[in-house]
Amino acid sequence: MGPVELLTGDLDGLREFYTRGVGLSPISQGDREVTLGRDGVPLLRLAVADAPADDPRQAGLYHSAFLFPDEAALARALVDTATVAPNAFQGASDHRVSQAFYFADPDGNGVELYVDRPRDQWRWAAGQVVMGSTAIDPNAFIRTHLDRGATGSGSAVTMGHVHLRGGDLKQAESFYADTLGFAVTSRTDGALFLAADGYHHHLAVNTWSSAGAGARPDSLGLRSVAVHVAGIGELDALAQRLTAADVAHDRADTSITVHDPWGTRVVVSAVADAENDTA
């Protein structure tokens, strides 16, 4: 996955949360826009906007999920995030494929900080990954894994996945699986999980608070989601699927911009040696 773009009325507050807490670094900064990432790779873009607050009953962002390289780096980021935003923590779960900790940024956008379990520990049944949700004691996790000799913030490796709110799961599957090319990896009550290359999920859509939602109104929060595919050939194939499905889209040399059924902008870019290929 590529960077998530958020609209905010509190650029300084979000920048502090994602740098001093999550551990991202500035890549470019201006008065009204900031790009944050790791090792020069963009993971998050923040832009100032004058708009109403995000409404969880509408389609939009459920959470952005930052994948960490190991438990020690994640534990460091948990401490830093809790220090920067003491009231932001929302819960923690062992999902069998990963260990995840949930926060809300200063605008209320959902944020997941997580580490994967080794792939050979994931279980699959009938073509779907077996996931669950068992509570994790965050303090015990930190005591076990925090490297007290380490310095600096634990940095996220990638935008591991993006979890969206949508209005209808059948529409979500038609767009994200049938048209964009992701594989469905799990279906649960009110949620759909999709991925490429055998991952547990790169994208998820739920209707827990947004069932029946229509086109998104202008608001703060999610502006766009970015997906990387491995090469122009994959982009050409996507363009053919979009045309066949009569889905409006804008084609550039190395990218396609399209909107999902609720108006969320999805930018699909051809990136050499992309980790996450949707085809």
Q: How many CA atoms lie within 13 A of 19 on its CB side?
A: 16
| pLDDT tens sequence across 185-194 | 999 999 999 9
Model confidence at 8, pLDDT cuts 50, 70, 90, reads: very high
DSSP 121: G
> Is 113 domain-assigned?
yes
d(CA 154, CA 83): 14
d(CA 93, CA 135): 5
Query: Angle formed by the axes of helices 138-145 and 71-84, to 10°?
Result: 130
On the question of pLDDT at 149 being above 70, the answer is no
| pLDDT tens sequence across 71-100 | 999 999 999 999 999 999 999 999 999 999
Q: How many domains would you assign to the chain?
A: 1
d(CA 100, CA 116): 9
| pLDDT tens sequence across 258-275 | 999 999 999 999 987 544
> Is 229 domain-assigned?
yes
> Is 276 domain-assigned?
no
- Reduce the DSSP state of residue 170 to 3 states and report it: helix
Q: Which domain holds residue 233?
A: 3-270
Q: Span 220-248, mean pLDDT?
A: 96
Q: What is the pLDDT of residue 256?
A: 98
The CA-atom distances, in angstroms, between 103 and each of 78, 83, 198, 214 are 10, 12, 27, 27
Residue type, 276: N
> Is 275 domain-assigned?
no
> Is 277 domain-assigned?
no
Average pLDDT, the chain: 94
Output the domain CATH number for residue 163. 3.10.180.10
Percent of the chain with pLDDT over 70: 94
> Is 279 domain-assigned?
no
> Is 36 domain-assigned?
yes
| pTM of the complete model | 0.94
